[in-house]
Chains A and B, each alone.
Chain A
Amino acid sequence: MTAPLLKYGLFGDEFSLVLAFVLGVGFGFCLERAGFGSARKLAAQFYLYDMSVFKVMFTAIVTAMLGVTYLGWIGWLDLNLVYLVPTYLKPQLVGGLVLGVGFVVGGYCPGTSVAALATGRIDAMVYALGIAAGTLAYAEVYPAIKPFVNADAMGQVTLPEVLGLPWGVVVFAVVVIAVLGFWGATKIERWIGSRS
Chain B
Amino acid sequence: MRLPRLTLNQKLGAIALALGAVAIFSQPHRGPFVKLDTRELALVVEEQVDHVTAPELAAWIVEGRADYRLLDLRTAQEYAAYHIPTAENVPLPGLADYPLLRNEKIVLYSEGGIHSAQAWMLLRAQGYEAVYMVLGGLEAWKDEVLFPSLAADANPQQRAQFERAAALAQFFGGQPRSGDAAGAPAATVELPKLTAPPPAAGPATPVGKKKKKEGC
Known contacts A70-B19, A80-B127, A168 near B9 by CB under 8 Å: no
Q: List A contacts of B81 (CB < 8 A).
A: none
A44 on the B face (CB < 8 A): no
**B174-188 near A? 1/0 per residue, CB < 8 Å:** 000000000000000
A138-162 contacts to B (CB < 8 Å) = 155-156
Residues of chain B touching chain A, judged by Cβ–Cβ distance below 8 Å, are 9, 13, 16-17, 19-21, 23-30, 99, 101-103, 126-127, 129, 215
Q: What's the Cα separation between A58 and B201 when bound, in Å?
A: 61
- In the complex the two chains form, is A73's CB within 8 Å of B24's CB? no
- In the complex the two chains form, is B29's CB within 8 Å of A79's CB? yes
- In the complex the two chains form, is A73's CB within 8 Å of B28's CB? yes
- In the complex the two chains form, is B99's CB within 8 Å of A7's CB? no
Q: List A contacts of B28 (CB < 8 A).
A: 68-73, 77, 79, 167
A20-72 contacts to B (CB < 8 Å) = 62, 66, 68-72
* Stretch of A102-110, A114-122, A175-183 contacting B (4+ beta carbons < 8 Å): A175-183
- In the complex the two chains form, is A172's CB within 8 Å of B24's CB? yes
Residues of chain A touching chain B, judged by Cβ–Cβ distance below 8 Å, are 7, 9, 62, 66, 68-73, 77-81, 83, 86, 155-156, 166-169, 171-172, 174-176, 178-179, 182-183
Smallest CB gap from A63: residue in B: B16
- In the complex the two chains form, is B29's CB within 8 Å of A171's CB? no
Select A78's contact among B20, B26, B127, beta carbons within 8 Å: B127
Given known contacts A80-B127, A182-B9, what 15 new A-B pairs fall within 8 Å (CB)? A7-B102, A66-B19, A66-B23, A69-B23, A73-B27, A78-B30, A78-B127, A80-B102, A80-B126, A81-B102, A81-B127, A167-B26, A167-B27, A168-B23, A179-B13
Smallest CB gap from A175: residue in B: B20
Known contacts A81-B102, A182-B9, A171 near B16 by CB under 8 Å: no
Smallest CB gap from A4: residue in B: B102
Smallest CB gap from B21: residue in A: A172
Known contacts A70-B19, A178-B16, A7 near B127 by CB under 8 Å: yes
Interchain residue pairs A-B with the least CB separation, the first 3: A72-B28, A175-B20, A168-B24
